[in-house]
Amino acid sequence: MVAKISIGASLYGALSYNGEKINKTEGRILGSNKIVVPVDGSADIGRMADNFRLFMPKMGKTKKPVLHISLNPHPDDKLSDQDFESLAREYIDRLGFGEQPYVIYKHEDIDRHHIHIVTVNVNEEGKRLNQDFLYRRSKKITTELEEKYHLHKAQREKLSPDTPICKVDPDGDIKRQVANSVKMVGMRWKFQSIGEYNAILGLYNIKCEQTDGRVNGREYHGLVYFATDDNGNVIVTPLKASRLGKFASRTAIDSRFERAKDKIDIAPTRRSVADALARSSDKDGFIAKLKESNIDVVFRYTDEGRIYGVTFVDHGTQTSLNGSRLGKEFSANALQTRFSQAQPQQPIQQQPNRQPTSVPTVVPPPSSPSNTTSGTANTTNTAQPRSAKNLANDYDPIIPGLDLFQPGQSVNPDEEDFRRRLQRKKKGMRRRF
């Protein structure tokens, strides 16, 4: 039996997490101590929180007074509700919190049923209870309970670099799956930005977002993880990095960005991508050729369908690279230009008794010899040079929908003549005064 102990500051958060599962019929309350439990089996989160506060001082020095414990027997152990409750009460008593207010919940949202205990580690006088060697004492207790009740010896799942990473199974323990996948991605892969990190996680139906803000006047910078379906839709409540482990925190991921800089060799990936691009006539062919080289490509699109980001996930080198890191010709804008030119062009149709509709041709600046145009009326514009910051984030500074208004060499003679006359008039007025 594995016990997991979390020490936190939010009593309402712990009660809400468990109470919502009970109210969704994904579990039940097995018992409590000093806390009033509704007779209908529902979880009145607000009333429970008020009950807990009766046994806690209004003012106290303990910043994290809440203990949230989960007890996880081996899947082969078939226990009744009475067995679960007996185990929980004996465990919490031997841990030294048997006289504290607590609630025992049974979770049935996954096949491996388990129990959660919410209690507090301060007494009515505000004094913190003994937490010395808490985790060591907990391990000793679970081992003795396994022997006493003839339970299987359950151990924490050990991860190694060879452990396979699988997509999130919506019917399994999602938190555990996300935690394991995030940990193994960090162990194996090299990446230098959140976009490159997400390109890997997305293969396993996980995504990550940065969270920045202010709480009680203090800034915070963290990460939140989401489990998704194959279409990218979020399927469960987001998971804060702190719930998964230190390896998932923003500090840990930022440090991986820095360490990866000295370890990444882009040459092998660049050669494979260049070869696939040279042998491809369109985007679908490009994707297929990359697959042959064991490389996944992740395109990001605007609402109008324009490519604004591209990341290559190389399984051979276990590296995730934004296209701009490989070179200008592999950036999002360059690929957008190439693939849009590969699409068949629609001829301009003339209306009866009307002049043909003219479409201005946008000519690339002379300073960009590598840029090309389609040579037809429907022309795809080329991007202007990007800053180092934009390159690092594979961000295209051209705003979708405005690329028709990029400067070109097409000139209207009448407008140019009018502009010159205005300039001469202004100069004459300045001389007068």
Task: Give the residue-averaged pLDDT of 1-6.
Answer: 89
Q: Could you tell me the maximum CA-CA distance found in the chain, to the nearest angstrom?
A: 106
Q: How far apart are CA 44 and CA 216, in angstroms?
A: 28
pLDDT score recorded for residue 368: 38
pLDDT score recorded for residue 179: 92
pLDDT in tens, 158-202: 666 667 889 999 888 898 899 999 999 998 999 999 999 999 999
pLDDT score recorded for residue 194: 94
3-class SS at 418?
helix
pLDDT score recorded for residue 377: 37
pLDDT score recorded for residue 425: 60
On whether the CB atoms of residues 9 and 65 are closer than 8 A, the answer is yes
Return the number of other C-beta atoms located less than 10 Å from residue 276's C-beta.
21
422 pLDDT above the threshold of 90: no
Give phi and psi for 205, each to the nearest 5.
60, 45
pTM of the model: 0.55
| Interior angle at CA 176, CA 171 and CA 180, nearest 5 | 120
pLDDT score recorded for residue 76: 86
With pLDDT > 70 as the criterion, what percentage of the chain qualifies? Answer: 75
Q: How far apart are CA 70 and CA 117, in angstroms?
A: 6
Selected residue with higher pLDDT from 67 and 212: 67
pLDDT score recorded for residue 226: 95
Q: How far apart are CA 230 and CA 399, in angstroms?
A: 29
pLDDT in tens, 50-88: 999 888 877 667 888 999 999 999 888 889 999 999 999
With pLDDT > 90 as the criterion, what percentage of the chain qualifies? Answer: 50
**What tokens appear for 59 in the block?**
């003012």
pLDDT in tens, 225-267: 999 999 889 998 899 998 898 899 999 999 999 999 989 999 9
pLDDT score recorded for residue 34: 92
pLDDT in tens, 287-326: 999 999 999 999 999 999 999 999 999 999 999 999 999 9
pLDDT score recorded for residue 203: 94
User: Is residue 63 packed enough to be buried (19+ CB in 10 Å), middle (13-18) or exposed (0-12)?
Assistant: exposed
Domains of the chain listed by start with CATH number? 2-148 (3.30.930.30), 174-261 (no CATH), 265-343+367-425 (no CATH)
Q: How far apart are CA 27 and CA 109, in angstroms?
A: 7
pLDDT score recorded for residue 426: 55
Selected residue with higher pLDDT from 427 and 293: 293
Task: Give the residue-averaged pLDDT of 389-412.
Answer: 36
**What tokens appear for 300 in the block?**
């990001």
pLDDT score recorded for residue 94: 95
**Dihedral angle at the C-alpha atoms of 51, 53, 57, 60, nearest 10 degrees?**
150
What average pLDDT does the structure give for the chain? 80
Task: Give the residue-averaged pLDDT of 7-11.
Answer: 88
pLDDT band at 373 (very low <50, low <70, confident <90, very high): very low
Q: Which amino acid is at 382?
A: T
pLDDT in tens, 145-162: 999 999 988 666 666 666
Residue in the structure block whose two tokens are 């892969």: 189
